[in-house]
């Protein structure tokens, strides 16, 4: 009798213990110890400098957040950067996206190239992973994917900036519009051409190339023959420099060149003195234009022994906003983070804030126009309206 009582008591204890363990498991946070942030940028090839800068911005933010401590649903977590080289190529970008998803990233900072982002956006959306892009082609957000968030202004605003500046500030009788055939270059060129035509400007030369062409003798001859004085140039910097060399050979130097982000590089200083003026537009505003830009520059140079090359301050800010969304969601599930980002007005340490409209466009994006003077790009004007 006593033995039976003991057995029943032991069984009851086991049942209570099991309930206790079950209750503990149920009450445990589902947030993992490590949360992976993906980065997909061109880390090799001609655009490697820009891609590495964007990756550096992410690394700097992750290191800072890990040092200060990130608590999600009451649990201290560590952020980890997982990087892939998209090679500025759509096929490589799709492979990089798949590798990031297989590694378990909860958000992706990528890509630089619009053509790559267009191909990868559906891949991330299928897994509900938010994608924060610095690509500027409007078609990306027009795909209608809930997971796409642009962290700069798009090409619609930049095209208006190019057209308005070229028409009013670089007034000429004849214009040329050339591009590299990419979704970014061609789309921006078409938008700028439409702006020029609306301003009743004569476009004497309109031509597309590919993004590798450097043989521009024939184009230079056409520009001289048509007496083009303003070249709207949606080519890479090395292509623009090759064109300037051909113009120099022909003695056609009374020309201004106005490009996009891809000519707003340090290498373009090689073209100074060849023509009358070199200008560039960009939705990626220089870090020095922001109140806290100096502090970012100091931290960036200390970490990487060189100044930022492009938009590292934007990807730095994007990581801070993603971390805020993770905290707000109380979850590391990509779908939860996406929902949080959709409603967030996130604090961005350098640029001030990041918030998005229903399409995933940045609400407070602006475009600046810069002039190359004494080897440096100097801001001429900027606006969020144009």
What three-state secondary structure class fits 254?
A: coil
Q: What is the DSSP letter of 154?
A: -
pLDDT tens track for 36-73: 999 999 999 988 999 999 999 999 999 999 999 999 99
pLDDT tens track for 70-112: 999 999 999 999 999 999 999 999 999 999 999 999 999 999 9
Q: How far is 213 from 46, CA to CA, in rounded Å?
A: 13
Q: Of 105, 110, 109, whose CA–CA distance to 128 is shortest?
A: 105
> Which pLDDT score is estimated for 29?
67
Contacts of 15 (CB under 8 A, 6+ apart): none
pLDDT tens track for 175-218: 999 999 998 899 999 999 999 999 999 999 999 999 999 999 99
Contacts of 253 (CB under 8 A, 6+ apart): 247, 274, 275, 276
Helix, strand, coil percent content, the chain, rounded in steps of 5: 45, 20, 30
Contacts of 295 (CB under 8 A, 6+ apart): none
> Which pLDDT score is estimated for 19?
38
Q: Is the pLDDT of residue 153 over 90?
A: yes
- Confidence category of residue 28, pLDDT binned at 50, 70, 90: low
How are strands ordered across the β-sheet holding 376-383? 203-208, 175-179, 230-234, 256-259, 277-282, 367-373, 376-383
DSSP notation for 168-207: HTS--S-EEEEE-SSHHHHHHHHHHHHHHHHTT--EEEEE
Q: Is the pLDDT of residue 24 over 70?
A: no
DSSP notation for 80-141: EEEEEE-TT-HHHHHHHHHHHHHHT-SEEE--SSHHHHHHHHHHHHHTT--EEE----TTTG
> Which pLDDT score is estimated for 46?
84
**Domains of the chain by start residue, with CATH:** 34-153+288-355 (3.40.50.2300), 156-282+368-383 (3.40.50.2300)
What three-state secondary structure class fits 20?
A: helix
Rg of the chain (C-alpha set): 26
pLDDT tens track for 230-273: 999 999 999 999 999 999 999 999 999 999 988 998 899 999 99
- C-beta atoms surrounding 181 within 10 Å: 17
What pTM was estimated for this model as a whole?
0.85
**pLDDT > 70: percent of the chain:** 92
103, 82 Cβ separation under 8 angstroms:
yes
């Amino acid at each position: 009798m006593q033995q039976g009582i003991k057995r029943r008591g032991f069984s009851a204890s086991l049942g209570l213990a099991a309930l206790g363990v079950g209750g503990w498991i149920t009450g445990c946070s589902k947030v993992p110890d490590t949360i992976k942030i993906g980065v997909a940028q061109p880390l090799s090839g001609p655009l490697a400098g820009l891609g590495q800068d964007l990756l550096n911005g992410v690394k700097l933010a992750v290191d800072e957040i890990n040092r200060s401590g990130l608590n999600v649903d009451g649990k201290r977590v560590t952020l980890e950067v997982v990087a892939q080289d998209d090679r500025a190529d759509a096929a490589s970008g799709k492979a990089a996206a798949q590798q990031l998803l297989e590694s378990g990233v909860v958000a992706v900072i990528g890509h630089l190239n619009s053509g790559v982002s267009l191909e990868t956006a559906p891949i991330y959306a299928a897994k509900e992973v938010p994608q924060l892009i610095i690509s500027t082609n409007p078609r990306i957000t027009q795909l209608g994917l809930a997971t796409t968030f642009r962290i700069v202004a798009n090409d619609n605003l930049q095209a208006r900036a190019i057209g308005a500046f070229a028409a009013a500030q670089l007034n000429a009788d004849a214009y040329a519009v050339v591009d590299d055939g990419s979704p970014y270059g061609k789309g921006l060129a078409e938008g700028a051409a439409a702006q020029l035509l609306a301003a009743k400007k004569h476009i004497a030369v309109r031509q597309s190339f590919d993004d590798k062409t450097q043989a521009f003798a024939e184009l230079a001859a056409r520009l001289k023959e048509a007496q083009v004085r303003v070249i709207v140039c949606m080519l890479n910097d090395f292509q623009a420099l090759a064109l300037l060399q051909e113009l120099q050979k022909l003695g056609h130097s009374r020309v201004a060149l106005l490009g996009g982000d891809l000519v707003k590089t340090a290498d373009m200083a090689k073209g100074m003195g060849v023509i009358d003026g070199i200008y560039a537009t960009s939705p990626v505003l220089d870090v020095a234009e922001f109140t806290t830009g100096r502090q970012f520059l100091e931290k960036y140079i200390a970490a990487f022994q060189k100044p930022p090359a492009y938009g590292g301050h934007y990807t730095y800010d994007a990581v801070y906003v993603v971390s805020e969304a993770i905290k707000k969601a109380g979850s590391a599930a990509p779908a939860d983070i996406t929902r949080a980002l959709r409603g967030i007005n996130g604090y961005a340490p350098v640029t001030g804030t990041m918030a998005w409209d229903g399409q995933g466009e940045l609400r407070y994006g602006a475009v600046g126009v810069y002039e190359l003077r004494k080897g440096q790009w100097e801001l001429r004007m900027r606006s969020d309206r144009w």
